[in-house]
Amino acid sequence: MLGAVLLALAALADCAPAAPVAAEGQARGPARRIVSLDYCADQYLLKLVPRERILAVSPDADRDFSYMRKAARGLRQVAPRAEDVLVLKPDLVIRSYGGGPDAAAFFRRAGVPVLQLGPSADLGDVRAEVVRVAEQLAVPERGQKLAAQMDRRLAALRTEADAARGPEREALYMTPGGVTTGPGSLVAEMLAAAGLRNFQREPGWHPLPLERLAYERPDIVAAAFFGSATGTPDGWSAARHPVARAQLSPERVVRLDGAWTACGGWFVLDAIEALARGPGR
């Protein structure tokens, strides 16, 4: 592996980047050979950048939990391994977590600029990241357009909520892994934007509160990933417990496509709108 990396580095050194960018990822000119290292980065790349500027995407780009999976069809896929990426001679790498914790520093040392996606703790972060990444990819107008679409959709949700004001409903976010999340998370922001109160009251991620669910029932269960090929609870998941399964009656469940919530992006609006519509719609 070390030999392959050294050969790739030597090949890269013989070929100047097509569009040099600053070390922090700010483009001096539009990159023309962009590689994405994970499916979270895939979403931004596939949404914002013309197809001819995409050199390769991650192996998960066309999986069912990838929101932009249709746009990924036919594109080269590359594993997030240094030797596999460097041999392609990219002029920009975009990543969220792909390649491991040292990947960004490694590629920069190899002379390949890296555009690092940041975490999104709330909807404001998501909007800001859309704008920032689009600017870094030299397509600022696309980011501004997408952010404006988010603003319009959120405004419409607020208008609908005001018009249909009634008793506030509680919603429990449930995953096949048997965990849920409380205040301070992007999921909590999504529930609030849909006009719902979070059933989970403790901040952070926690196992499903089975004891509480034995005598309290949320009005709505936001079931993420259930029904998808990648969202089947394993034998040790609290989601398989009879108390948890009893919450999944059709009249109370809003089933969320895993691609809506797998990463923080503009597509969380799809989940918010589904939650606002409620079960069975």
Query: For residue range 76-103, what is the model confidence (pLDDT) as tens digits?
Result: 999 999 999 999 999 999 999 998 888 8
Both 7 and 109 in a single domain?
A: yes
CATH code where residue 50 lies: 3.40.50.1980
pLDDT at residue 280, as a whole number: 66
- H helix or E strand, kind and range, residue 268: helix 268-277
Number of neighbouring beta carbons within 10 Å of residue 16 = 10
Range of the domain at 236: 168-277
Both 20 and 107 in a single domain?
A: yes
The domain boundary, picked from 53, 85, 117, lies at 117
> Measuring CA to CA, which residue among 45, 102, 107 is closest to residue 76?
45
Residue 143 included in any domain: no
Both 11 and 113 in a single domain?
A: yes
Residue 145 included in any domain: no
Give mean pLDDT, residues 125-136: 96
Both 104 and 7 in a single domain?
A: yes
pLDDT at residue 60, as a whole number: 94
Cβ burial, residue 187 (10 Å; 0-12/13-18/19+): buried
Question: What average pLDDT does the chain have?
Answer: 84
pLDDT at residue 233, as a whole number: 53
Residue 129 included in any domain: no
Residue 86 included in any domain: yes
For residues 60, 175, 242 and 208, what is the CA-based torsion angle, rounded to 10 degrees?
A: 140
Give mean pLDDT, residues 118-141: 94
Alpha-carbon distances, residue 98 vs 31, 38, 93, 243 (angstroms): 19, 5, 10, 36
Residue 266 included in any domain: yes
Relative to beta strand 205-207, strand 179-181 is: antiparallel
Both 71 and 174 in a single domain?
A: no
Q: How many independent structural domains does the chain possess? A: 2
> Measuring CA to CA, which residue among 98, 108, 95 is closest to residue 45?
95
Both 273 and 196 in a single domain?
A: yes
- Sheet of strand 54-56, all strands in order from the earlier edge strand to the far edge: 54-56, 34-36, 92-95, 114-116
Number of neighbouring beta carbons within 10 Å of residue 202 = 13
Both 106 and 181 in a single domain?
A: no
Both 112 and 7 in a single domain?
A: yes
Q: Binning pLDDT at 50, 70 and 90, where does residue 46 land?
A: very high
Query: What helix, strand, coil percent values describe the chain, rounded to 5?
Result: 40, 15, 45
Q: What whole-number distance in Å separates Cα of residue 189 and Cα of residue 208?
A: 19
Residue 161 included in any domain: no
Q: Binning pLDDT at 50, 70 and 90, where does residue 190 land?
A: very high
**At a CB cut-off of 8 Å and minimum separation 6, what does 152 contact?**
none
Digit-coded pLDDT (tens) for 195-211: 999 999 999 999 988 88
Digit-coded pLDDT (tens) for 135-175: 999 999 999 999 999 999 999 998 876 656 656 789 999 98
Both 100 and 201 in a single domain?
A: no
Give mean pLDDT, residues 190-194: 92
Residue 12 included in any domain: yes
Residue 61 included in any domain: yes
